[in-house]
Amino acid sequence: MRQINLEEYQDSGPITLGVDERDVLRELLPSVSIEPVKHTSSKYRLRPGSIVGALEVDGLSVLIKPKIGMPQLLSLACYALGIYKQQDKEFSFAKDEALPDVLALALIAAARRAFGRGVLRGYQAEEDALHTVRGRIRFEDQIRRRYGVPLPVELRFDEFTEDILANRLVKAAAARLGRMTLRSSEARRGLGRTAAILENVSLLEFSRRNVPEVTFDRLNEHYRHVVGLARLILLHSEFESFRGDVRASGFLIDMNRLFQEFVTQALREEFRVSEATLQSERKVPFDKDDSVKLEPDLSWWEGGKCTFVGDAKYKRIDVKSVPNADLYQILAYATALNVPGGLLIYAKGEADTAKYRVKHSGKLLEVVALDLAGTLEDILARVKDIAHKIVCLRERS
């Protein structure tokens, strides 16, 4: 399989692509710009946007490396999904690996720890026709299907089994990664062992738009990490057929979305507030006729009143290059929600802070940058500084 290596927001050198390859990449990776090289007929320069990960299609493998390290990427993604207390050291083996291999190795390590106590079992509701009675008789089904026939009996009962949702998610994630070309022999062997351990578990397909959550308690808390990784894999993988006969598989993460989700989750944890208080993408009216809706990334609500609004953007900027459109956007949020100002949260750039006092309105627009380097603890410590700014903005309200 031919491999193309790219880096987030970096121009590639000239890359030879056939017409079909070019069209497939344009269809499946619209975030990657593909520009022809002058004076050539089949060479192109590729520049990824904020989408990172891996895509395999029709004999072609495209790897897009994130600007931040692979350990940071996985730590942020796990934290955003609610997997707490995970350290970068758990992903230290993955620094120079391709993302599918990284995920496979991380899933294998988490599964090994989770399965150390044995494969989790639980009660699963089953319906079946048996010759001995157990559980509850389904009288309506018995009469409808077997009127006048005593056996077998239509029953509903709880089965204590390994075939439960948590194990199904792990097995589905392992299978999804196993269909990709993994360069690590350790990853391939580890996925095989994981599948063997879960041989009595049903192999199901989960759509990216329908990956169920698992409720954790003291009995299954040790499964939190492996289930979280499994959900991460299932949420960001799976592709549909392209033009009917070309199949694609891969794992892609939108860093814009990930940054927003991480910042939102980290601030909720820092303030110890719920989703109802610090809301994400709540629709609010812009005009009196309610014909235009705004969706700020962050808004703080108390008793139906908004006391803070902010936006998180995965951009690397300095003070002199804060985009006007971003300032207009946060100003619109602050005006529509009638708060004294707003906060723009960027990924780390060349400057840390900036303030803009808007003429005539008096709105104060603040800019902060969150450095994503270092361990998860380092990043969360920097979130505390952002939280302090939010406190000051809310006090003005």
- Go through the domains of the chain in sequence order and give each one's CATH number: 1-67 (no CATH), 68-121+162-237 (no CATH), 122-161 (no CATH), 256-395 (3.90.1570.30)
- What pLDDT score was predicted for residue 83? 75
Cα–Cα distance between 175 and 194 in angstroms, integer? 10
Q: Is the pLDDT of residue 324 over 70?
A: yes
Q: How far is CA 247 from CA 55, 236, 240, 333, in A?
A: 11, 17, 7, 42
Max CA separation in the chain (angstroms): 85
Dihedral sign, Cα of residue 318, residue 324, residue 325, residue 331: positive
The predicted pLDDT at position 157 comes to 56
Give the per-residue pLDDT at 363.
93
Mean pLDDT confidence for 158-179: 88
SS (H, E, C) 162-228: CCCHHHHHHHHHHHHHHCCCCCCHHHHHHHHHHHHHCCCCCCCCCCCCCCCCCCCCCCCHHHHHHHH
The predicted-structure confidence for 271-323, as pLDDT tens digits, reads as follows 999 999 999 999 999 988 888 999 999 999 998 899 999 999 997 665 567 88
Report the distance separating Cα 76 and Cα 265, nearest Å. 10
Q: Is the pTM here over 0.85, yes or no?
A: no
Query: Please, what is the average pLDDT of the chain?
Result: 86
Place of tokens 């601030």: 267
Q: Kindly state the average pLDDT of the residues 41-51.
A: 93
Lowest-confidence segment of 9-23, 149-163, 198-212, 276-290 by average pLDDT: 149-163
Cα–Cα distance for residue pair 77/92, rounded to 1 Å: 15
For 356-387, how does the pLDDT look when each residue is reduced to its tens digit (9 = 90+)? Answer: 999 989 999 999 999 998 888 899 999 999 99
Confidence band, pLDDT 50/70/90 cuts, at residue 352 = low
Q: Which of 166-180, 227-241, 303-317 has the highest mean pLDDT?
A: 166-180
Q: Whole-angstrom Cα distance, residue 301 to residue 273?
A: 11
**Which pair of structure tokens corresponds to residue 272?**
């110890």
Task: Kindly report the backbone phi and psi dihedral angles of residue 111, in degrees, each rounded to the nearest multiple of 5, phi listed first.
Answer: -65, -40
What residue ranges in the chain does DSSP mark as E strands?
2-7, 15-16, 33-36, 43-47, 51-57, 60-65, 122-130, 136-137, 153-161, 248-254, 278-279, 284-285, 293-294, 298-302, 305-316, 341-347, 353-357, 364-370
Q: In this model, does residue 351 exceed pLDDT 60?
A: no
Q: Residue 320's pLDDT is what?
A: 62
pLDDT tens digit string along 78-99? 888 877 554 445 555 555 678 8
Percent of the chain with pLDDT over 70: 85
Q: How confident is the model at residue 102 (pLDDT cuts 50, 70, 90)?
A: confident
Radius of gyration of the chain from its Cα atoms, rounded to whole angstroms: 25
